[in-house]
Structure 1
């Protein structure tokens, strides 16, 4: 650890107003519990319901796991800061938080690409779907997502560990994040900033290209279906994923492609809050409310629980 002067940081959070902090605490606690409950419900359903043993729900299960992991890496700590008033975080904890949030976030983008490919095969090559999307292929794609996430974050993380903090230890954010930390570093950060930007842009371009190409072929295939009912059914299987992808990519492109968003602290905080709290809460509902199979699996599970409780 090259940091020999500062061993702790102070997280300023979102506001110093006590009333706003109470509202923020209630809001974040509610969204966090809702997010964890919703995503864990999806994970549980994919394990217990035989109808959800397909590649599509295998990827959805992994996506829900990443969502729970990502939001749990930053929100509980922020809730603790609000409740106790203790805004101090150690250097090691800060580095760990940066590592985990970045790993989960980047892996999620590659998972989006894998999920898009799964939908492409399901709609464009339905007769070969079972053969192409075998269990070994699905497992391989998940391993690739995690490996790609590690490969993307290791270069900037290695440079980040070499930063020195000597003038200030105050982070103007509610969690340890790359841009606020770079601002208070007293060593040269040019190479780190360029590396972070390049890795972020490459990740967005590579995964978004896969998503766009997959859905371009999907839409072209759907419009060739002779029946309106067939088209509607095909669109319904992709609509949830398209909504979630649009929300996530839209927010991240706004942050990394817009220089003003990186420099403007308030904008960066709000965008980070949307990604870490609001999106993980909405995603389970987007998938369940627009997916008849998941809704049916949930109802069946509730009936089984009710039957067991009455015995």
Structure 2
């Protein structure tokens, strides 16, 4: 009995135990790893990944999968800077406009999936390619910064609003970076939505058995649409944070966001042995990846080995969680 309880504890806490071991190991190797500045830097570095991961979690909850989030985020970086530099909008006009852009993309994803019955992976993959190409057209493939020369030969007269830059560069009480604050607000809001509201229960019901959910009175198309719209808006929010941090529209922005966000959401399945999409697990997954990469960087691990080490550690964590579960069931 004690052995079974020990295995259950190890299985449910495998990712958290491994995270604690990583923190301890990096601290022993580099004592400067544990200081407020570095820890806040880690959280700031994973804030966008965690926010996008929450969007992936929402679509996973309804039995779908959103592959377009990285492209939506990258397009939002370009859209935000284009709106301010070319259209000369201020921050208060730009932010709602970009969030609306993400919602429209999510609505288009939902239209393909819910109305046209295109499989979610194919629909969002197609939208990903569409956006990746579309974001380059207005500037003829150039990054966006002050003094941008437009395809017609004219020069953009606007600049990035200083108020907008506060989203990515300011800090609460001069300690907690604003992206971390935004991540915390998003995580708490969507944790409450999924875990403690009727809508959250209905979203999981749709993902578990859409027919049964429909028979129980759930509006399945509307719930799926809501999940994809929110996912798109969260991806745009991530793009806004990136644009506010770098202060320009970089065409290479968001290159790795998709894989990191998906990794965070899938690691979340193993946190506390939930085995279902969950916001807490997604945030832990994002922090896990951030701690690992930050520690490897501080140890001067060659950049070309970091992805391999990250993959090996993640495989170990997931194998421990699911392997112990399989052993117990057998």
Give the TM-score taking structure 1 as reference length: 0.34
Give the TM-score taking structure 2 as reference length: 0.32
- The structure with higher relative contact order (CA 8 Å, sep 6+) is 2
